[in-house]
Amino acid sequence: MVASQMADYSVPRLNSQSVLVLNGNTGEALYEKNIHQRMPIASISKLMTAMVLLDSELPMEQSVTISDAEIDRLKKTHSRLMVGTTLSRKELLLLALMSSENRAAAALARSYPGGTAAFVNRMNRKARSLGMHDTIFYDPTGLDMRNTSTAADLARMVKAAHNYPLIRAFTTTQEHQIVAANNRLLQYRNSNALVRGGDWDISVQKTGYIQEAGRCMVMQATVGSQPLIIVLLAAGGSSARVNDAKTIKTWLESHPSSWMAVTKVGRTAWRHLQCHAVFTPYPHPIKPLPQSPATAPDSVTPLRPKRLTSAINVHRSNWH
């Protein structure tokens, strides 16, 4: 197994309080740290916002105008998207995913049939349908700290989001210009430094930040010809999540034969077990939010000799 083969190598020390790295083909965990710790996810929520919007099949070229309802009265955050600005749903979705524009996400939810409440309800229903049983949403932007999830659940969300071509395209767009309500040209750029740098092969990603959540990042990226799903939650400094991602990539690339050579075997075993194993929910309680990153538990279990069947229980059935 990948886990047993990598166990002898030095384990990277990561700043993020919760980390999960999965092989996107087999679902096997390459690195785990507090993957069932439930915590705020900030703008990672916008991946679910995007999926619910696209599932609704609302006309993406239809115009939506930013209103007073989109002003953030919870966190008092600033937005360059002025009240009165009119953009298509498609362009609002681009800004929400690429630049994590909160007013764009809020406007998309408000203009949904039934309004924001119906939209958030649909977000939670979608989460349940994906097997994200430790996840709950209270708003479409992620500004509400009650939007909480686990690394294990978010890996499922990333895999689901990867099936939407528009989400893949918009989350990896580097920059975009819009015309604001005052006829000024506004330049937006991707919130993820790894996308802006251009050195990574990223197919879908999302960043997030509020004070309660810390710096967060989820993505699917190709490393050593293999698709990896990477979830990083509650990193400290502004560059911590990026540094953690780079550390993971360097660590895996330093020992390619130990985890890449068994990919074909692992995938065969995974599919065999999907057909013959009895799937049961992973028996873990929902844990309370950590009081602070400094006091969060540090239960790192990267690449221990775990059987592939345990990975199935952790991430439940129907990975493919």
Q: How many residues does the chain have?
A: 320
Note if 100 is an active site residue: yes
- Nearest CA to 111 out of 70, 72, 147 is that of 70
Sign of dihedral through CA atoms 93, 111, 51, 155? positive
Candidates 16, 99, 100, 203; catalytic one: 100
- By the 8 A CB rule, do 220 and 159 touch? yes
Give the pair of three-digit tokens for residue 142.
């992620």
Three-state SS string across 145-200, please?
CCCEECHHHHHHHHHHHCCCHHHHHHHCCCEEEEECCCCCEEEEECCCHHHHHCCC
- Helix, strand, coil share (%) of the chain residues, nearest 5: 40, 20, 40
Candidates 33, 46, 249, 306; catalytic one: 46
- By the 8 A CB rule, do 60 and 169 touch? no
Note if 191 is an active site residue: no
Q: Rounded CA gap, 157 and 207, in Å?
A: 14
Candidates 16, 43, 45, 99; catalytic one: 43
- Nearest CA to 43 out of 129, 136, 139 is that of 139
Note if 46 is an active site residue: yes
What value, to the nearest 5°, has the Cα angle with vertex 253 and ends 157 and 5? 85
- Residues belonging to the active site: 43, 46, 100
